[in-house]
Structure 1
Amino acid sequence: MFDLKLSDITAWISDRGYSSVALQLPEGLKMRATEIIDFLSDNTDCSFVILGDPCYGACDLYVDYKDVADALVHFGHSPIPSQGDDGDVFYVESFFDTDIREHVKNILDELPEKVGLLATVQYVGCINQAKEVIESSGRKVSVGIGDKRIMYPGQILGCNCSAAESVANDVDMFLFIGEGDFHPLATAFGVGAPMRVLNPITGEFRSVDEVRDRILRKRFAAIQRAVPAESYLVIVCSKIGQERNALADDIINKIRSSRKKAYKVYMNEISPQGLMAYRVDAFVSTACPRLAMDDYSRYDKPVLTPIEAEVALGIREWDDYVFDAIRPE
């Protein structure tokens, strides 16, 4: 169902004559790591090593792969153009290769006149299928072009909805093709337009309004918990696509201008265990917004995004709350 491009990887390795290759996989594909190695080993003279640390996106690209191999195959994510191009890195987006036209036909009556189409990278190939069906009903379809962090038209990341922002004024509703809540919620917060989700595997069609409202209430509660804080630890992630040191310095200056203490820490993997030793009242994460949005319940102190920290400090009003996004430098 998801194309791992094993024949393409084989040809790439053979053409370039690599003797060793590292494999970086997200959690959902690690169960197939040994299967992938068995295939590649049978078809090349190369040796392989699995990079076992968690991998959340191309922002998490293992840049030190040359320490363990000649080249890197990164599975499950598209390149982030603003991070530059490395000829010794092969990206396998794992595109979904099933026709979703029938699922789209089943939801036509639920769609308005002007629809914006969005997807995560695995499902960007489904966008043209959906566009064909929706336009055949007489509706207008918009597929936005994102900024330099975005590889494909209509693609969104959990930290970047610029493809949606580029057409937000031209649509009545966005239709997100994919699974889960984080990506469509990030866009719903980012553009403020109605959002519906179509699961391309099951055909389920649903709203994210209730989940969005529940998360907003929890984010408001986290901000309120941080209002009395007198000391903050501002976290900078060292991952290539998440490092926002200048933003961290900016929020530190704002905290100190509010007559509170601020400290900065560099981390690669951010976890409750990694932060529990620090004697501060609250954390501000400049890493992936997902840390604060998804994992807040795992921390015994409030974890805020930089925008949320501004609200807690009284610099920004809650009515001006927006979702944190990572933009290209």
Structure 2
Amino acid sequence: MAAALSSPEEAVLARTVDASQVNEVERALATWDLERVFEIQRCADWIRDRQLTRVTLQFPDGLLKWAPSVANRLESLVGHRLAILGDTSFGDCCVDEVAAQHLNADGVIHFGDTCLTPTQRLPVLFVFTRWPFNRGAFFLAAMNVDAPRVFLFFDVRYAHAFPPEDEATPLGPVITCQPVQPDIDNPHILCGRRCPIRPGSNDTILYCGRDLKYIQLLSLTFNPCQLLQFDPEAETLQSPVSSMKRELMQRFYLIERAKDAQRIGILVGTLGVSRYRDIIERVNRAIQSSGKRSYTFLVGKPNVAKLANFPEIDLFVLIACPANSIVHSKEYMQPVITPFELDVALNQDRAWTGQFLANFQDILPGQTEHIDFQPNSEADPDISLISGRLRPMSMAASPALEDQASHALMAQETRLSNINDQGGGSFLQSKSWQGLEQKLGQTEVAMAVPGASGIAAGYAGEGVVGGGPQEAQL
């Protein structure tokens, strides 16, 4: 667990860029020119066709080196100025609509890796860029894959190597899952790719790329299937997941922690994904209907230091895109789970079957995996698998409205305050140190005296033996 309770100021200056991204783009530019790697002509046509005048260009850290060149070339084609977005509010794969709206933008062009999540407000053009890919080495390495069907997923930056019109491969029965534009109403989109049919337990998922987050997303989404990874840089085929059974047991453990939690924090990790308000409302209602307390936090990119500032929270639910929703919370003080896992924990009609849904939109009304929320029945005793004890009645099925909640009465000086039992205020009262106390009327009155003068870099009199307060010589 991190010792600091806030992000260090030096983090911005000390942050490094993934060298592999820079190296891959430089290799691509050695083969193709700048316009082809960044599809500049396609960007210009998109801007002109929609008659956009305030477009922002969003680049991840690894591509910022080429942002000025791309912007200058694109400005010469469209005839007006463009803005560049860097240091995004959330993940690099997500469209930063918040920063774009600060510039009053009417459109965003997103470059590089993307989760292809539907946006909330602005029109978006996704430019994957292109990285070198050795098709011959890939087919040679994957030739010995033995499976009834192979579902081919690949990093969006290698999409040029698998064009939609080229479905024929020497691997036999292969279903190529192409990246597609976001569409929340298309039931055949899985993990940002178009899958005509859902893979079965005997099928194999073959992934081309090196994105660890996407590998984790594929492994949990298609956990009954065998997962193989082709590393385009090393040109090797390997199995990236050591034990899927252990991974699923860890997720099930987090679900049990959610059942035991009394105070649950809702981490809003995105403000640009479509229907994020709907999932926040659903999660909040589910928590309150289960007799628990909910608190909402807008934190941007969550890290250990940020969440450590809220020790009274028992568990966090992260609202983010599928690629950033799965958080390994070993270093965190509290577990961090997905909205789907919370629904499994609190919804009586949704049982844990091993199925995993990282996309929160799948459980919203109108989607194929939506199940109406039904609190756990109070008549059925519920034993915690963590503590082995019977869970309190306040955590059972009856809706815990504010006027029905138990209250603790606390005397503070001459005032009486109502504190919700099991709420954050009750947690604070259990602490021996509760912050600075004013102690009005108890502090001796003293005359004001001159203080230090000057600037913070060096106040007058500092470093001088016996030096007292004096006027700064500016």
TM-score bracket relative to the smaller structure: 0.7 to 0.9
Instruction: State the number of aligned residues.
Output: 321
Q: 1:128 to 1:19 in 2, by over 3 A?
A: closer
Determine if the alignment matches structure 1 residue 51 to structure 2 residue 82.
no
The residue number in structure 2 matching 1:141 is 174
Kept after mapping to 2: 8 A contact 1:311/1:318:
yes
SS in 2 for 1:110: coil
Kept after mapping to 1: 8 A contact 2:248/2:354:
no
Residue identity opposite 2:110 in structure 1: H
Kept after mapping to 1: 8 A contact 2:149/2:204:
yes
The residue number in structure 1 matching 2:430 is none
The residue number in structure 1 matching 2:110 is 74
The residue number in structure 2 matching 1:232 is 264
The residue number in structure 2 matching 1:62 is 97
> Could you tell me which of 200, 221, 224 is aligned with 1:190?
221
Q: Separation in 2 of the partners of 1:243 and 1:163? A: 21
Determine if the alignment matches structure 1 residue 33 to structure 2 residue 64.
no
Q: Separation in 2 of the partners of 1:66 and 1:209? A: 40
Determine if the alignment matches structure 1 residue 308 to structure 2 residue 341.
yes
TM-score by length of 2: 0.55
Determine if the alignment matches structure 1 residue 24 to structure 2 residue 58.
yes
Q: Separation in 2 of the partners of 1:222 and 1:170? A: 24
Q: Separation in 1 of the partners of 2:355 and 2:201? A: 23
Cα RMSD (Å) of the superposition? 4.1
Mapping for residues 1-329 of structure 1, pairs under 5 Å: 1=28, 3-6=37-40, 8-9=42-43, 21-37=55-71, 46-54=80-88, 56=91, 59-62=94-97, 65=100, 67-68=102-103, 72-77=108-113, 80=116, 82-83=118-119, 89-128=124-163, 132-135=168-171, 139-144=172-177, 149=182, 160=191, 163-164=194-195, 166-169=197-200, 172-191=203-222, 192-210=224-242, 212-213=244-245, 215-241=247-273, 243-266=275-298, 268-278=300-310, 279-294=312-327, 296-313=329-346, 315=348, 317-327=351-361
Q: Deviations over 1:7-30 (max 9, x none)?
A: 554676789998765321123323
Kept after mapping to 1: 8 A contact 2:319/2:325:
no
Aligned-pair CA distance for 1:296: 2.4
Which has the larger displacement, 173-182 or 62-71?
A: 62-71
Q: Deviations over 1:141-183 (max 9, x none)?
A: 22357887369xxx977xx366347242497212112213322
Q: 1:84 to 1:67 in 2, by over 3 A?
A: closer
Which has the larger displacement, 53-62 or 36-45?
A: 36-45
Residue identity opposite 1:117 in structure 2: L
Aligned-pair CA distance for 1:303: 0.9
Aligned-pair CA distance for 1:298: 4.6
Q: Separation in 2 of the partners of 1:17 and 1:224? A: 52
Which has the larger displacement, 3-12 or 89-98?
A: 3-12
Residue identity opposite 2:265 in structure 1: L
Residue identity opposite 1:173 in structure 2: T
Residue identity opposite 1:230 in structure 2: Q
TM-score by length of 1: 0.75
Residue identity opposite 1:263 in structure 2: Y
Which has the larger displacement, 245-254 or 266-275?
A: 266-275
Q: 1:253 to 1:49 in 2, by over 3 A?
A: closer
Aligned-pair CA distance for 1:249: 2.7
Query: Which has the bigger relative contact order, CA under 8 A and spacing at least 6?
Result: 1
SS in 2 for 1:234: strand
Q: Deviations over 1:275-310 (max 9, x none)?
A: 444432111123234445245245321111123224
Residue identity opposite 2:208 in structure 1: I
Aligned-pair CA distance for 1:210: 1.0
Q: Kindly, what percent of the aligned residue pairs are identical?
A: 22
Residue identity opposite 2:174 in structure 1: V
Aligned-pair CA distance for 1:314: 7.8
The residue number in structure 1 matching 2:375 is none
Alignment gaps of 5+ in structure 2: 1-27, 30-36, 367-474
Aligned-pair CA distance for 1:140: 1.4
The residue number in structure 1 matching 2:7 is none
Alignment gaps of 5+ in structure 1: none
Q: 1:161 to 1:47 in 2, by over 3 A?
A: closer
Q: Deviations over 1:231-280 (max 9, x none)?
A: 11123444222653323333333333332222334554444444444432
SS in 2 for 1:209: coil
Residue identity opposite 1:180 in structure 2: D
